[in-house]
Structure 1
Amino acid sequence: MDADTYKPGVGDLVDGRYELKDSLGKGGMAQVWRAREVSGGREVAVKFLRHDSEALYCLDPYEREAELAVRNARFRREANLLGTLDHPGITELYGSGSHLGVPYIAMRLVTGVSLRTFLDEHSPLPLATAVAVAIQVAGALACAHTLPVVHRDLKPANIMIDEEGWVVLIDFGIAKPLHADATRYTAHGSTLGTRGYLAPEQLLEREPTTRTDVYCFGCIFYELLTGRPPFPLGPESGLTDKHLNEVPLPPSTYAAGIPEPIGDLVLRMLAKKPEQRPAVDEVLEVLDPFAPGVGDPEPRPRTHPDPTAPMRRPPDRAVRPRPVALTLPVASAPADEWLDARVVEQFCAQAESEIASGEPGDATDRLHGLTERVRKEWGERRPLVRRVWQGAADGFRLSGNFGAAARLYQAVDNDLIHGDGPAERADRALLRLRLAECRLTFGELEAAIATVDAAGRTAAGLPPELAARVEAVRHAVDAQLTARLAEPRRREA
């Protein structure tokens, strides 16, 4: 029996490890089964790549073989990504392999309902419920985007709410790493993603970035708040043109009681240009003041499951940690003692030495944990505060944590550089170049081009020594940008 003829059935023992119990459903590219792990007895979900889909039968033999090769490669990549993503809002990978020629992925079984079913049953949602779902989705996305990985198929059907109220992001089947050496797979037939939840750049078949997910997430959040997507489906709705050109009405048009910061946030998430959308970390920051808290009453009308329950539950009764954006390690000094500036200066000097060697180590880790504390104790104008933040950002960048590095560089640029003399202009140009370097990893090429051009103009007006510092970094970032622009500009899978 080969991959073209094998069809999973009840009682099948997959790879000697998983006994199939019942089918949970199938789509165009995969089918999912509930199974029992033979060694431990726990229930798992086993996802099989489909070799028998209707779309494949419509192709000639050569096209079918090529498309199957792409699907197999994507399926292997999904398994690799799930093994890398570590977040309670993303299904854990238990194992992967091939059974009778058919690739499979075994992962955590999420029992509950899809967000699509939840919305169909409970819309319109109480504000607290909508915010609770959005915060949990944003936490999972923050984990993926830090790698960086873009999901590319965010929609209510790919979000689950389990029986305890935890929200889980599923189906990374067309997710894509954004680092420069990620393998590219040419798509066959249609734009990747789901109609109604596609960003303008997806409709135009352009490079995805993490802000692509933010747009799709914005469509979902709009529906959470109002009970309808920003551009509803219809036989003659002109949906593509609306996503490309039409500004959605404010969500408050359809639902009362939406706080202004949330309404503004949703519209910014739905900006047509990726660079105008907030990063997912900013989404979390805006939503945090509106999050349900421990001891808050259950929202009315009640829903089951209740996505606010994990946030309202006392910490000692929480089943899993609340999903949030990545946090920094705790500082070395006890929280009830004032920081010693001489000790912090020593940490900075040691970290800068590690960074100069290209190998961030223990001292750099200490800076990561001191950022918020030095800012709180010493304010935003003390040079040592900026030194801590910039050292932490440089450490994150060199260790490959580009999302965290970008957040710190942006904060330094926004809040910690004061004055407009030559030294400050040079520092701003250098920070923005490093920020552009991080964002290159996320595919944000247009913003990087603008930053490199602006840095060149800034350097032209600086004293020679400062200009040389800016030009050295500018040329390095420009070389990376040139390499990215030289990559084949074809639609990816």
Structure 2
Amino acid sequence: MGSQGIRAGQNVGGRFRLVAAIGKGGMAQVWRAHDLRTGRDAAVKFLRPDTEDLHQLDTRERLAELDMLRARFRREANLLAQLAHRGIPELYDRGSHDGMPYLAMRLVPGVTLHTFFAENGPLAPTVAAAVAAQAADALACAHTLPVVHRDLKPHNIMVSDEGVVVLLDFGIAKPIGAGVTQYTRHGSTLGSRGYQAPEQILEREPTTRTDIYSFGCVCYELFAGRAPFVLGEEKGLIEQHLHKDPLPPSAYAAGIPDALDDLLLRMLAKDPQQRPAIDEVIGVLNPLTPRPGSPEPRPRLRYDPTAPFRLPKNPPGDGSSATTPQPVPAVFGADDEWLDVRAVERLCDAAEQEIQEGDPDDAVRRLAHLAPRARQEWGARRPLVRRVWDLAADGLRIAGDCGGAAHLYESIADDLVRGEGPQERSDQAILRLRVAECRLAFGEIEAAIRVVEEAGYLAAGLPAPLAARVEEVRREVDLDLTERLAGPKIPEE
């Protein structure tokens, strides 16, 4: 049964009554449907096996392409089932309707960011920040899994009726790691023209930093009012993305802070390793968003992305993502004048015991929660502050929160390790190794190889006890790296 055979009024999966077609892409068609079980509306996405592109292939190629598309469709369902965030459509059901695979998910009434741009012209800075910060928070949820979206662009970002920003179309999204099956033909680049990272154009393996580049293009457009590269300049669009550095967005729009200027340019770095991680992106964007009680934009917006910040029920970035640990009950209230030293020491002891038992849990999460306050209140040189950060980072790493652990390790290296002596060089080497170990979960293999090699050279120049510490961690990371490089290809369901 082809997509032409889908009609309004049909019942899909015994649950979803089709109402109207609302969108069609290259290989999928989306219908608005009524969920008979819950009474709410849903979006039902069907794979289209009858497109013109497929008809141009011979029988063998067409069957191979259909197998790949069905596998991608299954992957999209598997990913959506794991991604729980209000900025990512929730998967309701999946199945086959008269031989055609379908996904049923939360319907997002609203407009695409592409339409939002067209309707509202240049955006006020707080409106741009509200869109960017919400999208970044949803992207962080995917990157924590870790999953790379691979097709971030204004057409795949929605602003809902309530002003919530939602990432759409995980159809070519991909989990990161060894053993993940490739569903791409050689010579076929994924992503959308004008938003592809250089490594996508060159058909290299994507990482989460690939999404950062595409998202950087979107954010540049949000704040500067134009894309970083446009047709009609001295080089073609692809050549510009590969070889040209963009102008700072402040060259096109007034009032852009230096920190945002710098962030957007680094997001568009040609070398993926020079791009910031999503947590750093969020750290720059969040302070630019409206606050509770802020005035609404003028002129008023039909779809207002500032509303979730100005009138918060569950504000963006509040930890509502299911892949992010829920806020822990505060041992130390935000209004307490000072942290209690003895209480912090007892919490460190509890976290240490959790780590030794191989089951980091509540105490580790509490330490990670209070670590910034301890650093602010007691300064960088107090040994207890370093103990808090070390235990929080080690605990999150062992618990599998690689993104959170990497952020803590990087902060320790930047703020808490001072001096150039042997002890400090040993500490820095171990911290860099731990960051590389965490980033391996996000597919950053080449960077890990460099860090492992550099640590070996550095250890050779350290006193024996310090060298042994570095070597122990270096061997751990090297073993992880070797296993990822040698991992078997495991087909996905």
Structure 2 unaligned segments of length 5 or more: list them: none
Shift, 1:488, TM fit: 9.1
- Residue 116 of structure 1 is matched in structure 2 by 114
Shift, 1:373, TM fit: 3.0
- Work out the number of aligned pairs and report it: 484
Matched, 1:98 2:96: yes
- Residue 285 of structure 2 is matched in structure 1 by 287
**Structure 2 residue identity aligned to 1:33:** W
1:113 and 1:416, CA in 2 relative to 1: closer, same or farther beyond 3 A? same
Please give the alpha-carbon distance, in whole angstroms, between the structure 2 residues aligned to 1:144 and 1:106. Answer: 19
Shift, 1:115, TM fit: 0.4
Shift, 1:359, TM fit: 2.3
Return the match for 1:202 from 184, 200, 203. 200
Shift, 1:257, TM fit: 2.6
Please give the alpha-carbon distance, in whole angstroms, between the structure 1 residues aligned to 2:330 and 2:204. Answer: 42
- Residue 379 of structure 1 is matched in structure 2 by 379
1:295 and 1:362, CA in 2 relative to 1: closer, same or farther beyond 3 A? closer
Shift, 1:453, TM fit: 1.8
Q: Deviations over 1:365-409 (max 9, x none)?
A: 332333223223322211121111121111221222111111111
Shift, 1:349, TM fit: 3.0
Q: Deviations over 1:301-358 (max 9, x none)?
A: 4332121122122x3xx3x432457575343244426434334333323323332343
**Structure 2 residue identity aligned to 1:10:** A
Q: Is the 8 A contact 1:18 1:36 kept in 2?
A: yes
Matched, 1:28 2:22: no
Deviates more, 1:201-210 or 1:254-263: 254-263
Please give the alpha-carbon distance, in whole angstroms, between the structure 2 residues aligned to 1:290 and 1:359. Answer: 38
- Residue 472 of structure 1 is matched in structure 2 by 472
Deviates more, 1:3-12 or 1:114-123: 3-12
Does the residue aligned with 2:204 lie in a helix, a strand or coil? coil
Q: Is the 8 A contact 1:394 1:405 kept in 2?
A: yes
Deviates more, 1:449-458 or 1:107-116: 449-458
- Residue 369 of structure 1 is matched in structure 2 by 369
Matched, 1:141 2:139: yes
Please give the alpha-carbon distance, in whole angstroms, between the structure 2 residues aligned to 1:236 and 1:58. Answer: 35
- Residue 230 of structure 1 is matched in structure 2 by 228
Return the match for 2:315 from 317, 321, 334. 321
Deviates more, 1:389-398 or 1:268-277: 389-398
Q: Is the 8 A contact 2:199 2:205 kept in 1?
A: yes
Please give the alpha-carbon distance, in whole angstroms, between the structure 2 residues aligned to 1:48 and 1:234. Answer: 37
1:302 and 1:188, CA in 2 relative to 1: closer, same or farther beyond 3 A? farther
Does the residue aligned with 1:22 lie in a helix, a strand or coil? strand
**Structure 2 residue identity aligned to 1:130:** A
- What's the TM-score, normalizing by structure 2? 0.93
- Residue 48 of structure 1 is matched in structure 2 by 46
1:362 and 1:235, CA in 2 relative to 1: closer, same or farther beyond 3 A? closer
Q: Is the 8 A contact 2:198 2:241 kept in 1?
A: yes
Shift, 1:297, TM fit: 2.3
Does the residue aligned with 1:91 lie in a helix, a strand or coil? coil
Q: Is the 8 A contact 1:147 1:402 kept in 2?
A: no
Does the residue aligned with 2:42 lie in a helix, a strand or coil? strand
- Residue 258 of structure 2 is matched in structure 1 by 260
Deviates more, 1:191-200 or 1:476-485: 476-485
**Structure 2 residue identity aligned to 1:461:** G
Q: Is the 8 A contact 2:178 2:485 kept in 1?
A: no
Q: Is the 8 A contact 1:88 1:321 kept in 2?
A: no
- What's the TM-score, normalizing by structure 1? 0.93
Residue correspondence of structure 1 range 348-359 to structure 2 within 5 A? 348-359=348-359
Residue correspondence of structure 1 range 153-302 to structure 2 within 5 A? 153-187=151-185, 190-233=188-231, 238-302=236-300
Shift, 1:440, TM fit: 1.2
Please give the alpha-carbon distance, in whole angstroms, between the structure 2 residues aligned to 1:452 and 1:184. Answer: 27
Q: Is the 8 A contact 1:88 1:323 kept in 2?
A: no
**Structure 2 residue identity aligned to 1:321:** P
Q: Is the 8 A contact 1:155 1:194 kept in 2?
A: yes
Please give the alpha-carbon distance, in whole angstroms, between the structure 2 residues aligned to 1:369 and 1:297. Answer: 31
Does the residue aligned with 2:253 lie in a helix, a strand or coil? coil
Matched, 1:331 2:325: no
Please give the alpha-carbon distance, in whole angstroms, between the structure 2 residues aligned to 1:105 and 1:206. Answer: 29
Matched, 1:391 2:391: yes
Q: Is the 8 A contact 2:3 2:48 kept in 1?
A: no
**Identity within the alignment, %:** 61
**Structure 1 residue identity aligned to 2:261:** G
- How large is the Cα RMSD of the aligned pairs? 2.2
Matched, 1:303 2:301: yes
1:250 and 1:462, CA in 2 relative to 1: closer, same or farther beyond 3 A? same
1:5 and 1:30, CA in 2 relative to 1: closer, same or farther beyond 3 A? closer
Does the residue aligned with 1:46 lie in a helix, a strand or coil? strand
1:375 and 1:5, CA in 2 relative to 1: closer, same or farther beyond 3 A? closer
- Residue 455 of structure 2 is matched in structure 1 by 455
Please give the alpha-carbon distance, in whole angstroms, between the structure 1 residues aligned to 2:347 and 2:123. Answer: 49
Please give the alpha-carbon distance, in whole angstroms, between the structure 1 residues aligned to 2:304 and 2:328. Answer: 31
